[in-house]
A and B are shown apart, each in its own frame.
Chain A
């Protein structure tokens, strides 16, 4: 077995791994979008920018304070979550009573501010972030070489994704959350503070983006532009998966990453647009998305 369909297995598995890693980021980010959308009915256009902020916070902590990767992995999502909390309390909150489109426009403006500010201070060239000591090197799996860090990214994001899914679908807190999405007034009457829950949901959703940013920092360059192109692909993932669904976000994110990797092997020119082509096809067959329901 020296080739598979005319492709050397090393190349094929290498691209599949890259696809799986991209897929992990798609899943983490679209999960955060789904959580936020479910509770706030806001399409968070600032998600990509906050993912970038997450990566930058890790980089800043390391560069100026010498704080290592593992602490940044906890600290950075907290910082991003706190930013989210402030944004929700001061701005997003005022928009719940008007058309949902305004939430999208507001977060678009916020994305411009974040990206513009980091671009102004750090330029577009991108900063390198070292792979943590513990995860250097790799494993020889016989058919391919797996760098430790990349394996860690896939495992970490899977754990976080399914942890979130479990918390929302299987725990009491998750049940309150889902109930409040359906009927906030009733849940409020049961003595649950829904506005606080909404704030916390937004903070948690963007903290997920911050977490993804720290995971991404050692793989990609930490650059002010790292979020803006990724986020559109994530939107396409969300449209394909169906906006309301947590599981849909995770499954679609991972599988589209893999599919993109495969395309890169067999027809590299199309790898950037394959997700959008699939989106068009899915929309023709099932406008609500694969896991979504019409509302």
Chain B
């Protein structure tokens, strides 16, 4: 009941927000919030730290940008295509990476995503250092002009809500319960008869697909897909958003993404070097604040 109220209030704020804040900024927050939620589905609910999620985010951005700009696809189809490609990549990467656990898993995903980075640098269609620029936003369903800031904003909000709802549903399903069981004690889950490899792989594909959805949407919003989207520093950033907000909480990644994006746009206008500040927050979070903001709040709420 309380959660439903919170969601309703959050949604109301999100609907009213573009009248108070700069829509492009809000859309950036929403894209990264969806990305972080997708990442959190793995780390928070299946205990798998992927350090290569930028590969899915960035590849989807490239595919969507290329499909819309060069093939002239409608934006919704472009985003769908980007999501599908990211999910397919998730199937391949996941199948390779879930053979090892813990830090090995993290290193393998990191290395595979670096391969994607080099491909993005060398392949013809990605535009190398320049990326794909000037992606047209186009007409959603052939009717809604996405060049209108409000139309674009509500489209992104709808995509975010759909993605978030899917994650919510996944986490609160029998499938999500099995994932949590794997996170807590994998050998026991195996002995209960669950084929944990399959559960982990499915979670990986789902997470990669949702990260792709965020990346494809980002490409339409900013009309740009660039190398930054596939760097391993981007993978690290999404880890930070999740860690700062609270791993394994549903709203944590949203809060974390909002804070990091706000901070970055604020720091951009100062002379402080952004990576140093981000790195320092990382260090502080790991040392003294491992539950994150939402995690800390939940831990302090009176138990009923």
Contact = CB atoms under 8 A, between A and B. Distances in A.
Q: Do these two chains interact?
A: yes
Interface of A: 43, 91, 94-95, 98-102, 104-106, 108-117, 119-120, 228-229, 232-233, 235-236, 238-239, 243, 269, 272-273, 276-277, 279-280, 283-284, 287-288
Nearest to A279: B111
* A-B pairs with lowest CB-CB distance, top 8: A109-B282, A112-B279, A116-B275, A113-B279, A276-B115, A116-B276, A120-B273, A272-B118
Interface in B34-50: 49
Interface of B: 49, 51, 96, 99-100, 102-104, 106-108, 110-112, 114-115, 118-119, 121-122, 232-233, 236, 239, 243, 273-276, 278-283, 285-287, 290
Contacts of B274: 116
Contacts of A243: 104
Contact of A109 (B103, B118, B122, B283): B283
B39 to A, nearest CB: 13
Nearest to A91: B287
Contacts of B283: 91, 106, 109-110, 113
A106 B239 CA distance: 11
A112 B278 CA distance: 7
Contacts of B236: 108, 112
A113 B114 contact: no
A108 B282 contact: yes
B275 A115 contact: yes
B119 A273 contact: yes
Contacts of A284: 96
Q: Which DSSP category, helix, strand, loop or mixed, fits chain A's interface?
A: helix
Contacts of A228: 232-233
Contact of A119 (B114, B273, B282): B273
A104 B276 contact: no
Nearest to B112: A276
Contacts of A114: 279
Contacts of B278: 109, 112, 116
B239 A105 contact: yes
A284 B294 CA distance: 39
A99 B287 CA distance: 12
B118 A273 contact: yes
Nearest to A116: B275
